[in-house]
């Protein structure tokens, strides 16, 4: 029991620390230093507040400039909602799953504190998920809303895609989603 209590306390203290660091940055845009290793991977350094730091920072950080979300680009918000909720599948499947989450997302955005126990338990990336809920609400409510939400492209297969390109391996490229069919190679391995 003492171990669990200490774990909860540590999680809470880390949460407060990250939120305080984000608030200290203020509303002005900021830039982060990055370096690339010999493999070409980028790492952000000099601050624990960065997009590689985890779910909470990813939920709190946003682009400094916003853009209107055209109707045809709305699918990317649905994909983000579904992905952060924990839905699996190709882009089309996740977009459909995200649209099915619409009513929940709007309810959570309307009362995030009252529904915290529900969305924080159900979503795999709870802070990015609730941020996506707010964004969906704002875009649906106001067609002129300027979205600053960071929406990721799926990078789960990037290492296999790079290997396929370097080797000229068409079969591996197909298995790493560079062909016409979506495949979850990591799930196949598991």
Confidence (pLDDT) at 176: 81
pLDDT in tens, 56-102: 888 888 888 899 999 888 999 999 999 999 998 888 999 999 999 99
Q: Quick one: CA dihedral 154, 159, 160, 165, positive or negative?
A: positive
172-181, pLDDT tens digit by residue? Answer: 888 887 887 7
Supply the pLDDT for residue 100: 97
Cα distance from N-terminal residue to C-terminal residue, the chain: 33
Reference 22, options 57, 69, 64; nearest CA is 57
Q: What is the mean pLDDT of the chain?
A: 85
Question: pLDDT tens for residues 38-65?
Answer: 766 677 766 777 777 788 888 888 888 8
Quote the tokens at residue 109: 């955005």
pLDDT at 107 over 90: yes
Is the CB of residue 126 less than 8 Å from the CB of residue 58? no
Q: DSSP for 42-77, please give it.
A: EEEES-S-STTS-HHHHHH---SS-B---GGGHHHH
């Amino acid at each position: 029991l003492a171990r669990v209590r200490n774990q909860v306390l540590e999680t809470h203290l880390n949460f407060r620390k990250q939120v305080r660091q984000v608030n200290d940055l203020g509303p002005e845009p900021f830039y982060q230093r990055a370096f690339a290793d010999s493999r070409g991977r980028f790492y952000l350094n000099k601050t624990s507040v960065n997009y590689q730091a985890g779910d909470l920072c990813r939920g709190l950080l946003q682009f400094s400039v916003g853009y209107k979300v055209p109707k045809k680009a709305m699918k990317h918000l649905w994909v983000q909602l579904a992905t952060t909720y924990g839905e699996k599948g190709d882009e089309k499947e996740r977009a459909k799953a995200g649209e099915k989450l619409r009513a929940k997302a709007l309810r959570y955005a309307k009362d995030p504190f009252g529904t915290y126990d529900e969305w924080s338990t159900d979503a795999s990336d709870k802070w990015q998920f609730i941020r996506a809920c707010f964004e969906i609400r704002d875009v649906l409510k106001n067609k002129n809303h300027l979205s600053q939400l960071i929406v990721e492209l799926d990078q789960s297969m990037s290492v296999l895609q790079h290997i396929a390109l370097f080797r000229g391996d068409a079969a591996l490229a197909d298995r790493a989603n560079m062909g016409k069919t979506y495949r979850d190679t990591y799930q196949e391995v598991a």
